[in-house]
Amino acid sequence: MYQQLIDWFVNVLRAPLAGLRGADPVLGLALVVLAALVLASALHRRLRLPRLLGYLLVGAIASPALLGLLQRTDIDPWKPLIDLAVAALVFELGTRLRPRWLVDNPWLAACSALEAAAAGGAVWLALVALGAPSPSAAAAAALAAATSPVITMATFLEARPRGQVAERLLMLSAINSALAILAVKLWPVLAHTKGLSGPDPLALLANASIVIFGSLLLGLACGVLIDRLGRLHDEPATMPVLQLALVILAALLAIAWGLSPFIALLVAGMTARSRMRHRLMVQPYLGSAGAALTVMLFVSFGVLSTLQDWRALWPWVLAIVLARLIGKGIAIFATARPSGLSWRQATALTLALQPMSSLSVLLVADSFGWRTQLPGAEPAVIQALLIATTLMQLSGPLWTLWPLRRIVDETGDDDDNPVER
């Protein structure tokens, strides 16, 4: 009875949407984004849930994993726009980072390296213990070490937290994502030594070096250009346009040259901030156009959801999620006190670092297919990782916001103004 009802509901929805897709893809997209905005607003008003959650849920409901209203290939044409939304958030993240903090607080630097290594190590151990092939487990571990910088940054922009945990969350998610990208680039070297297919390791190492240094140089150049052009074009109203144009340029060049857009844009943000200081005015999402693209980005994240084969793969999925939580927790608690964090803040930071990232693939792939990035990797391991990513991405805004709001009270929601009571 229930199944019949669901099937009827799906068919009712599918028919008009399929028609709309056929008629005009932009219209279909606009409708999905509209639905996302309505749901996000309702969730935010009634349950005080982050808006991002609404966007993700609409995408997930429409995805092949649930109603199947949209296919993964349907969003391939949106990829340039989604890349731009990611690029804007990553650039903004870069402008928030102060690398000098890692020098002033070496324990924080140690924490950032340790938490990525511990999370990756724990995931690798858990997967190998459950029978996964070691090189494939290493690939999954490398990707699982990253915290989604996009979810982190977007939640940050929505909730505007102020405090130690929020600051460290931004820094650690940037570092662990950069390390994950590096690991993805170096993974074929490991695969080659284990007898899996792939080109010469030396060539791969050289390529990885080119990617890192090339991305750094591109980011530096972009940051310097924002500063120089900003001096020539000292008009506050159009500064976001200038920034957006240069961010698009840097992202496209990085993709065209096979570099890492994430590293390039992060460095561009840091360079622009360092050179321009307070002259650099960065609007959230680089302005209203960026904000609209961000809605589309999170809807797409939802559409990319997959739960395929979850019945067979759930032990590996659970192992990835738990091992990651434990690995990050151990590293953060081990360095908490010397780095200036209370136990409560360490708990909040551990939880806030849990959202997983498909970003390392998003910006370097031609399509949304992960497997093209990791040739030779065991498909079952990668599918388990994708399911874990789906779960930790959909619940990501809650993982980030709840500790900031409830454990360390950094969002200012607990009003202490008696006048307003």
The neighbour count for residue 330, using CB atoms within 10 Å, is 17
CB of 416 to another protein, least distance (A): 5
Residue 230 C-beta: closest distance to another protein, Å: 13
Q: Which of 4, 11, 197, 417 binds another protein (CB under 8 A)?
A: 417
Per CB under 8 A, the list member of 9, 101, 257, 314 interacting with another protein is 101
| CB-based contacts of 51, cutoff 8 Å, min separation 6 | 40, 41, 43, 44, 158
Q: Which residues make Cβ contacts (< 8 Å) with residue 106, sequence separation at least 6?
A: none
Non-local CB neighbours of 194 within 8 Å, separated by 6+ positions: 134, 135
Verify binding: residue 79, another protein, rule CB under 8 A: no
Nearer to another protein, 70 or 170 (CB): 170
Q: From residue 14, give the alpha-carbon distance in Å to each of 8, 77, 214, 263.
A: 10, 20, 45, 40
SS3 130: coil
Q: Is position 197 an interface residue for another protein (rule: CB under 8 A)?
A: no
> Is 235 among the residues that bind another protein (CB under 8 A)?
no
- Torsion region of 285: left, alpha or beta (phi above 0 gives left; psi -120 to 50 gives alpha): left
Q: What is the closest distance, in whole angstroms, from the C-beta atom of residue 345 to another protein in the complex?
A: 8
Contact between 278 and another protein per CB under 8 A:
yes
Is 148 strand, coil or helix?
Answer: coil
Angle at 314 between CA 312 and CA 320, to 5 degrees: 135
User: For another protein, which is the closer residue by CB, 96 or 371?
Assistant: 96
Do 378 and 295 contact (CB within 8 A), yes or no?
Answer: no
Does 277 sit near another protein (CB under 8 A)? yes
Among positions 79, 194, 279, 371, the unique one binding another protein when judged by CB under 8 A: 279
Among residues 106 and 315, whose Cβ is nearest to another protein? 106
Q: Looking at 340, 356, 385, 395, which residue binds another protein (CB under 8 A)?
A: 340
Is 236 near another protein (CB under 8 A)?
Answer: no
Provide the binding-site residues for another protein, judged by CB under 8 A.
96, 98, 101, 104-105, 162-164, 167, 277-279, 339-340, 342, 412, 416-419
